[in-house]
Amino acid sequence: MKIVVCVKQIPDPATPGSLDSSTNALERDGKLILDDSDAYGVEMALQLATAAGGGEVSIVSMAPNGEMSGMRTALAMGAARGVLVSDPALAGSDALTTARVLAAAIKKVGMPDLVVAATESTDGYTGTVPVTAGDLGVSPVGWSGAGQKVASVSQAEARKAGQVIEDDGEAFNKIVAFLETLKVI
């Protein structure tokens, strides 16, 4: 099973932040850390790969300054490889641009069986990047969160990319492709 996790590196909340006086945007020149919600996503992907009998977990991220501290954390957790898209032109990107960049990076890596993303980041709280990336052809996208644990993984009939499956209330997400359910316990 090939799983890609979208991760965001954020300024360390323990370090006082500052605003760029010309843009009024948060400066991201210092050390970045892995967003807590994305750490849950990496762990969930590793559990899914193990429960499915093996596979590869990769991470993709975007950062304008080339900082990789947060990605190193995800790699230390067990991700096999990481892809960082970095360009000064990406500084201050909105959610749509971020989704487009991450979708292109995922496609460049090779379409996985599953993309895992957090519902929202600690520093932005838009919550729109995962679903937008899904709309851009990176499917299926599953969401991760605190306290979730993989209960079971089973083979399922492949479904069409983009097919919407209603949640029956007992499953966290019905995962299209080769997984049937991911239950929150």
Q: pLDDT tens, 60-119?
A: 998 877 788 889 999 999 999 999 998 888 877 887 888 888 888 888 888 888 888 876
Mean pLDDT computed over 111-140: 67
Percent of the chain scored above 70 by pLDDT?
Answer: 61
Residue 20 lies in a domain: no
Q: What is the pLDDT of residue 164?
A: 54
| d(C-alpha 164, C-alpha 39), whole Å | 26
Q: What is the pLDDT of residue 118?
A: 74
Residue 86 lies in a domain: yes
Residue 50 lies in a domain: yes
**155 or 135, higher pLDDT:** 135
**36 or 58, higher pLDDT:** 58
pLDDT tens-digit profile of 17-32?
A: 778 888 877 776 667 8
State the number of CA atoms in the 13 A half-sphere of 99 facing the CB: 21
Burial 1-25 (b: 16+ CB within 10 A, else e): bbbbbbbbbbbeeeeeeeeeeeeee
Say how many domains are in the chain: 1
Q: What is the pLDDT of residue 169?
A: 45
Question: Domain limits at 111?
Answer: 2-11+26-145
Residue 161 lies in a domain: no
